[in-house]
Structure 1
Amino acid sequence: MRKFGSSKTFSLIIISALLVYLYHITSKTSNTESSRKHYSKLMTIPLENTILTDKIVLSFVVCDSRFNESLNLVKSVLLFTKTPVYFVIFTDDNLRHSFNETLSNWKILLKNKLNFELQKINFPEDHEDDWMNLFSKCAAQRLFIPKLIPHIDSMIYVDTDTLFLGPIDELWGFFSNFNSSQISAMTVEDDNPNVSWYPRFAKHPFYGKYGLNSGVMLMNLTRMRNFGWVDYVTPIMLKWKLFIPWGDQDIINIIFHYHTDAVLVLSCRYNYRADQCMYGDACADATARGVHLLHGSRRAFHNHKQPAFQAIYKAIDEYELGTDSTHSLLNSIEKYLSEAPSSNCGNLKDAFLRVPIKTLNELYSVPTRVQAEICIN
């Protein structure tokens, strides 16, 4: 009986050992498979190579009633630019469907000359109301863009009340002019101390002698992230919020006041506002080479104070994208400028027409009559 019992015990030990061995093999195989799948999953996660660096990117922020104005901005880019453009649009929920529908149709119509993404308005929860209404609604969103779209390397930011009159490629080319310390490029507010707002009225630090206008802003987002841009903006807003009537533009000026080497100053022809012409010719570069980007600040596109600005906006607004008769756009611009009431800005009609005529002449076949109207050399 002892012998039998001993044999039985030995058999149980062997069986137990086999079961432990089989469990170990199964567990190891399972863990290896799980690790393989996990590693494979990790390998599909896009890393640095997903940052968009090979396309021209234009961004703007729009809420409330600026929808049609922003569509005319997009239209102007597409009219005067042959290169495909990628639009990053920050907008509220009320406008998302309209943007998606219109831009999707344009994308088909223009055979993928444009692509776009829609981003939600996204402010930090702390002081959210302050940010939302700092200047015009949502305008301060631009200050947080470097952190909100980490997949974008660089972009041109513009206010919605801007119109391109020449190819965006020319403006995009200034990124290659940045030195190692520069993270952004903008124009000065005005280079006349008797006109510029900042030296006369600002109660906060600002860039240089005249301050910067932020309606057009080249942003190297990668460098801005490394600079720690977003970390600056809230402390500045809390300290100066009672003294910054222009909101995000004032905050930008305060930052660049202390970091003057971080900004490249552009010619006024790339952010041409009524201030450059309403008191006489204050932008010699635009007079000589033409206005490249028109900025209708202070509602210049929509009121009767600046009829020359209103005339150009009206012509682009009426133009149907996708038609072959782009020369009709030039005819309309010329017609509305000629019919507009006399003004100091209107007296510089050649400066408004020079770049559109040259650009459309190079991109499309333009009637010789229109070409002969303005000397484009």
Structure 2
Amino acid sequence: MRKFFLCKWFITIFVCVLIIYMCYENYKTASLQNIKKNNSRTNIFSKSSEKIILSFVVCDSRFNESLNVVKSVLLFTKTPVHFVIFTDENLRHKFNKTLTEWKRLSKNQLDFELQKIHFPEAHREDWMNLFSKCAAQRLFIPKLVPHIDSMIYVDTDTLFLGPVDELWSFFLKFNSSHISAMALEDDNPNVSWYPRFAKHPFYGKYGLNSGVMLMNLTRMRDFGWVDYVTPIMLKWKLYIPWGDQDIINIIFHYHENAVLELSCRYNYRADQCMYGDACTDATSSGVFLLHGSRQAFHNNKQPAFQAIYKAIDEYEVGTDPSRSLLNSIEKYFSKAPSSNCGNLKDAFLRVPIRTLNDLYSVPIR
């Protein structure tokens, strides 16, 4: 009887040891898988970080405007930049021809890929014409480019006045909850559109302007970003005049900790100067990225914005901009009628002058 109990005791111990060993092996396997998964994500980011990745969406009449985005990047940046351009069939050939030539002239600093416009078949027409044509494509980017970890998205009516590296570095400032970074629409309740007119939820007190948007696409995919956008569009489509920007505001209204706020100098619009100086950071440190929303680059209401746009528009890729660009800006500023934005000329020129001094051996001014 004693031997029977001893045998039973040994069998019980053996089974317990076997169960513990199997649990340990399962834990070790799962840990290795998680490490591989995390390493894979780290590698995706490090590979994408070798080149700055910048994206925009363009259809119909904004081809020339979008080329000036590329020009402005090449003017003030020496780091290799990879452009991901979402465009319709009508413009693909024109982009391919022009950017292939610019790639040669820039000694391969510029690289690019052309992506088709692609909306879900359900509600495709709603998406296509939600704001301006194709603009809502940005909402689906996380799913459309699974090979990319992070990118800077900009509207086609934006111009860089400094090296893109500076804006890209904000990805390193993301905490574990951030999936994006954007500037506020305005930080003045008397000027900002959202607290005065919005009939839908929006981010914080003033709302976000989505013309410049840092996107950690890996985190946005984990967040389930694309799954949010269609239900929001269907619920609010009669109340979202700014289309994709309003949808972004609705999402971040409920997830405020997912956004890193950028300074207004990284998304400087006429609202920041037309009523007086409303962006002290730009006044002290200089405008870094100019956003010509509401046709500010093309109408006569904001001559300071037009002066910058015309100078960059006239620049020929591959030529030395160290003197000619600033001379053109000065010329157009001097011809422009007086305006509140024009009175802040130093804020517009501070970053370009400093950047060109850094990039070229000949002192500017």
Map residues 307-322 of structure 1 onto 2, 5 A cutoff: 307-322=303-318
- Higher CA-based Rg: 1
Q: Pick the aligned partner of 1:323 from 310, 319, 331.
A: 319
| Counterpart in the other structure of 1:292 | 288
| Counterpart in the other structure of 1:213 | 209
Q: Pick the aligned partner of 1:109 from 94, 105, 108.
A: 105
Instruction: State the distance in 2 between where 1:146 and 1:131 align.
Output: 16
| Matched residue SS, 2:151 | strand
Instruction: State the distance in 1 between where 2:105 and 2:333 align.
Output: 29
| Counterpart in the other structure of 1:162 | 158
- Give the residue type in structure 1 aligned to 2:48: T
| Counterpart in the other structure of 2:86 | 90
* C-alpha deviation, 1:58, in angstroms: 0.1
Map residues 16-35 of structure 1 onto 2, 5 A cutoff: none
Q: What is the Cα-based RMSD across aligned positions, in Å?
A: 1.1
Structure 1 alignment gaps of length 5 or more: 1-46, 371-377
| Matched residue SS, 2:260 | strand
Q: Pick the aligned partner of 1:199 from 185, 195, 198.
A: 195
Q: Pick the aligned partner of 1:182 from 174, 178, 198.
A: 178
- Give the residue type in structure 1 aligned to 2:116: K
Is 1:53 matched up with 2:63? Answer: no
* C-alpha deviation, 1:331, in angstroms: 1.0
Instruction: State the distance in 1 between where 2:161 and 2:48 align.
Output: 25
Instruction: State the distance in 1 between where 2:178 and 2:363 align.
Output: 43
Q: Give every structure 1 segment of 4 or more consecutive aligned residues whose post-TM-superposition deviation is greater than 4 Å.
A: 47-52
- Give the residue type in structure 2 aligned to 1:351: A
Instruction: State the distance in 1 between where 2:355 and 2:107 align.
Output: 21
Is 1:355 matched up with 2:351? Answer: yes
* C-alpha deviation, 1:284, in angstroms: 0.1
Instruction: State the distance in 2 between where 1:141 and 1:325 align.
Output: 34
Contact 1:327-1:367 within 8 A present in 2 as well: no
| Counterpart in the other structure of 1:74 | 70
* C-alpha deviation, 1:324, in angstroms: 2.1
- Give the residue type in structure 1 aligned to 2:357: N
- Give the residue type in structure 2 aligned to 1:275: D
- Give the residue type in structure 2 aligned to 1:303: N
Structure 2 alignment gaps of length 5 or more: 1-39
Identity %: 84
* C-alpha deviation, 1:367, in angstroms: 4.4
Is 1:234 matched up with 2:223? Answer: no
Q: Pick the aligned partner of 1:134 from 130, 136, 139.
A: 130
Q: Pick the aligned partner of 1:145 from 128, 131, 141.
A: 141
TM-score by length of 2: 0.87
User: Which digits, 9 at most, give the CA deviation of each residue in 1:214-235, with x for residues without a partner?
Assistant: 0000000000000000000000
Q: Which moved more, 1:153-162 or 1:321-330?
A: 321-330
Instruction: State the distance in 2 between where 1:201 and 1:62 align.
Output: 28
| Counterpart in the other structure of 1:283 | 279
| Matched residue SS, 1:118 | strand
User: Which digits, 9 at most, give the CA deviation of each residue in 1:197-218, with x for residues without a partner?
Assistant: 0000000000000000000000
Q: Pick the aligned partner of 1:62 from 58, 63, 81.
A: 58
Is 1:118 matched up with 2:135? Answer: no
Q: Which moved more, 1:281-290 or 1:323-332?
A: 323-332
**Count of residue correspondences:** 323
TM-score by length of 1: 0.84
